[in-house]
Amino acid sequence: MAEQQGLTRRQFAILEALATAKEPSLKQRELGKRTGMSLGTVNKLGKELAELGYAADGKITVQGLEALEPYRAKRAIFIAAGFGTRLVPVTLNTPKPLVRVNGTRMIDGLIDACLGAGIREIYVVRGYLAEQFDQLLYKYPMLHFLENPSYNEANNISSAVCARYLMGNAYVLEADLLLRNPALIRPYQYTSNFLGIPMERSNDWCFEVSNGVIRSQKIGGLDCYQEVGISYWDAEAGKKLANHLLQAYEMPGGKERYWDQVPLSIFADEYRVEVRPCTAEDVTEIDTFKELKAIDKTYDTP
């Protein structure tokens, strides 16, 4: 677990704030504002971190950056192999992640957010109209492509299987999300988590949560968190996923599963995944052509 890597959650929060600050240094009052901690708690933690050699004078030290390193997001994996059938007709000749919304390809906002967080090891799992993703290399020459030969006969678990050895210290993102808040992709994460939107009622995939930890995943619920297709997996969870994804895929009916059912349902007892709250304004999944037309009026033509 993350605690075994040396930092408490509060120590992590202070060091993360210092490491990602644009200012040369942060005063205790500003640290309190950014971390949601009281001034007394920040003061106590400041002394702890100073004694450890991790922070001094409102700045993170080299040793502090080394202590944060196990929590750094090292890579991003985009699940981008599907047909996008519900977005027909625009997906007849274009993969859904490459569809433009108000002039910008959906996947671009996600990639830009990853680059903004310092993540340059980026993988795109492709299948349907795979060659069209090559156009991304003009803008993003650092991209790596992973080919999913089973995209037309299996659900997105087949894409995750293609990337199963890359899951540790990694974001996994559905490539067809409209991201409006790039700050959701942070350079450091304390533990494995899934984005969710607090909802009084949801008819979509959602989480039941207790004390910030996902306890179950289901379709539809009350006082739940609606699932958003952006998650982060720490090193320990990544090692487990490498085995569990393949095991689930090879089970009877396994090809029909969604990849996130592996850690959240099939092998849920093996994982501790927190919910990371966001809003519908932060990120939107465009499922249907009707929803696309509502967001981008250029598609709403006779």
The residues spanned by each domain of the chain are 2-70, 72-298
DSSP structure class, residue 82: S
pLDDT band at 85 (very low <50, low <70, confident <90, very high): confident
Handedness of CA 15, 16, 17, 18 (dihedral sign): positive
d(CA 180, CA 199): 19
The count of other CB atoms within 10 Å of the CB of residue 89 is 9
Mean pLDDT of 278-284: 95
pLDDT tens string 208-258: 999 999 999 999 999 999 999 999 999 999 999 999 999 999 999 999 999
Do residues 63 and 22 touch, judged by C-beta distance below 8 A? no
Assess whether pLDDT exceeds 60 at residue 78.
yes
The pLDDT value recorded for residue 83 is: 87
What fold characterizes domain 72-298? Answer: Spore Coat Polysaccharide Biosynthesis Protein SpsA; Chain A (3.90.550)
- Which class is domain 2-70? mainly alpha
d(CA 14, CA 22): 14
The pLDDT value recorded for residue 101 is: 93
Strand (E) or helix (H) holding 52: helix 39-52
* Measured CA distances, 129 to 10, 23, 79, 84, 289 (Å): 46, 44, 14, 11, 19
Is there a common fold for 2-70 and 72-298? no
Residue 195: closest CA among 183, 184, 204, 187: 184
pLDDT tens string 86-143: 888 989 999 999 999 999 999 999 999 999 999 999 999 999 999 999 999 999 999 9
With tokens 């992709």, the residue in question is 185
Assess whether pLDDT exceeds 80 at residue 3.
no
pLDDT band at 205 (very low <50, low <70, confident <90, very high): very high
Do residues 53 and 63 touch, judged by C-beta distance below 8 A? yes
The pLDDT value recorded for residue 110 is: 98
